[in-house]
Amino acid sequence: MVFFSAQPYDIKFFNRFNEPFGFELVFQESRLKPGTINLAEGADAVCVFVNDKVNAEVCKQLAAKGVKIIALRCAGFNNVDLEAAKANGLKVCRVPAYSPEAVAEHALALILTLNRKTHKAYNRVREQNFSLNGLLGFNLHGKTVGVVGTGNIGKSFCRIMLGLGCQVKAFDLIANKDLEALGVTYHPLMDVLKADIVSLHCPLNNQTQHLINDNTIAMMQPGVMLINTSRGGLIDTKAAIEGLKSGRIGYLAIDVYEQEEHLFFRDLSTTVIQDDDIQRLMSFPNVLITAHQAFFTDEALSQIATTTLNSVQQLLKSGNLTNQAALLV
């Protein structure tokens, strides 16, 4: 099983849980792309992450190398051409639910940091600046929170925000009865976007691409707090920058970014970054960016490793999976 985009923590967690499976694991730092497919020579399965681009060409070449399985060690699968995988006889699996609380709790961390400015307070106090000017926040209690997508992560996030005394309004294609019983109310998307805080938890697909754009930003509350821990493509970055400049967006926190494959998961501290949009975003005092770390907890990494190894074992043995949510094609 050849891993692409492997980081030290992937090596640590997959090796830790591999013993009962007995796979030969090969870890490659490189992204999976046409130029790196040779690294998959002799593999039955490749294991990829969010920024490996598994397009039609890659699927064709993987199949030609004898690869049978593409295992995504993440929940989202917008980076895989599923039709091409199927056409080339490749099975594709993912980790449909691994500690949704990890992502939901990170969304909360972003909200609290942006609101109470603890990141700024930390630096100030270290420099013996004990002034409070510029650190004013607001109570979350009583505020309206709009949640787009109430699947595994959205559900966990709704419960957290209800616990803080917020009024939670949600939009999804299907309303969740358990959440309604807890007090969450479902509304059309445009009403949900009018909340004080809007948090995105839906997948990226043709319907949701640039869900947050010039038009939807114009309908949001002036000064809205916008949180995206889902996928970068949900937000039109240039529209968000304009929204921030005009003050329409009062706070923005993102753990995902449209062009993140050129930046995230790497140390670029000595590099001149060519992406002007991220540089502009980083220059706003009311923007907080984390580099796709919402999933990054011990519990989530353990779950990702065991689910992935289990799925690959089942697929190699029987060509099928008992957990159908994990099997994409």
Question: Does 150 contact ligand NAI by CB under 6 A?
Answer: yes
Q: Tell me the sheet residues that pair with 69.
A: 45, 91
C-alpha to C-alpha distance for 170 and 158, rounded to whole angstroms:
9
Question: What character string, x for contact with ligand NAI (CB under 6 A) and - otherwise, covers 84-123?
Answer: -------------x--x--x--------------------
By CB under 6 A, what part of segment 174-233 binds ligand NAI?
Answer: 174, 201-204, 207-208, 229-231
Interface segment toward ligand NAI; rule CB under 6 A; list 32-40, 81-89, 111-119, 148-156: 148-156
Interface segment toward ligand NAI; rule CB under 6 A; list 129-137, 142-150, 268-276, 304-312: 142-150
Number of residues that make up the chain: 329
CB 162 within 8 A of CB 156: no
Q: Phi and psi of 84, rounded to 5°?
A: -65, -40
Among 1, 75, 85, 239, binds ligand NAI (CB under 6 A): 75
Q: How far is the CB of 139 from ligand NAI (least distance, A)?
A: 27
Given the structure tokens 């049978």, which residue do they identify?
68
3-state SS assignment for residue 48: strand
Q: How far is the CB of 201 from ligand NAI (least distance, A)?
A: 5
Question: Does 149 contact ligand NAI by CB under 6 A?
Answer: yes
Beta strands 224-228 and 197-200, pairing class: parallel
By CB under 6 A, what part of segment 264-283 binds ligand NAI?
Answer: none
Q: Buried b vs exposed e over 18-51: b needs ≥16 C-beta within 10 Å?
A: beebebebbbbeebbeeebbebbeebbbbbbbbb
Within its chain, how far is the Cα of 22 from the centroid?
Answer: 30
Query: Among this protein's residues, is 266 annotated catalytic?
Result: no
Enzyme catalytic residues: 231, 260, 292
The footprint of ligand NAI (CB under 6 A) covers 75-76, 97, 100, 103, 148-154, 171-174, 201-204, 207-208, 229-231, 255-256, 292, 294-295
